Amino acid sequence: MTRLQLWLSLIFFLIGAGAGLAYAWLFAPIRATDFTPAALRADFKDQYRLVIAAAYAANGNLERARARLSLLNDPDPYAVLSTQAQRALANGDRAGAYHLAQLATALRQEVTAESPLPTEQVAASSGTPLLETPLPPVIFSSDQIPVPEYTPTPRPARTATSPPAPPFQVLSQQTLCDETLPEGLLQIIVQTANRNPLLGVEVILSWAGGEEHIFTGLKPELGSGYADTLLRPEVTYTLRVVNSGVLLTDLITPTCKKLSGETYWGSIKIILQRP
């Protein structure tokens, strides 16, 4: 092959490749259609879950939220939602974190709704019998036309305003010297007087020069009324619940001893209760 033939072959190859690329990009480009949300990037999946959680917070339709989440093919939807809620809280998105945690808890603690009562049972329970056939119209003669009686218009009753929710109380505070727990772990459990966990309660942990906002329910596997954080050694903290006032002051990381005599930082478990 001569030098001229080599150059001609190279030129024809480049022309053919350029023509093929131009046809593929301009005249017959590949169009992506009918893709499911499972094919999205990880950050787009997070946005998709956040929109689903916000929609559930607005309408409470758990069936629709579950159907939408199933399109992501997550192996464990509530665990994925819980992890994303913690990331959202770390990024300062408290509303998004609450919505994600609320949906995760609903998926874990779903209760089958009761079926509506049959019509006959509804009538029996209300004391009003159902009429199978309509009553015949009542026809009055000219001298039997009923005269309407005067009925005074009742005055509107005052709407009773619900009293403010009672403040939280410290039910117990326990120091834990457990080497299996992370050092300085602060565990907070928020519940009612009937020991029902409370979801989405905001607890503020403050210290000199800063504060941290903690929400219950971000770890559904540990309970919808559970929250935790890590305390720094030799720092004094104050704990309070939003709109409930200060509950604990002078909260510091406890010191524990191992069997070998070596010291380490222990943990604290606090149970808050609304009377």
Q: What is the pLDDT of residues 117-129, one digit of tens each?
A: 444 443 343 444 4
Cα separation, 57 vs 48, whole angstroms: 14
Q: What is the pLDDT of residues 225-257, one digit of tens each?
A: 899 999 999 999 999 998 777 688 899 999 999
Q: What is the pLDDT of residues 166-213, one digit of tens each?
A: 688 899 999 999 989 999 999 999 998 888 888 888 899 999 989 898
Q: What is the pLDDT of residues 95-109, one digit of tens each?
A: 888 888 888 888 877
Q: Are 62 and 77 in contact (CB under 8 A)?
A: no
Cβ-proximal residues to 53 (8 Å cutoff; 6+ apart), any chain = 65, 81, 96, 99, 100, 102, 103
What the block records as the tokens of 174 is 């326990």
- Domains, the chain, ranges and CATH? 37-108 (no CATH), 169-274 (2.60.40)
Burial of 46 (0-12, 13-18, 19+ CB in 10 A): middle
The whole-angstrom distance between residue 74's C-alpha and the CA centroid of its chain comes to 17
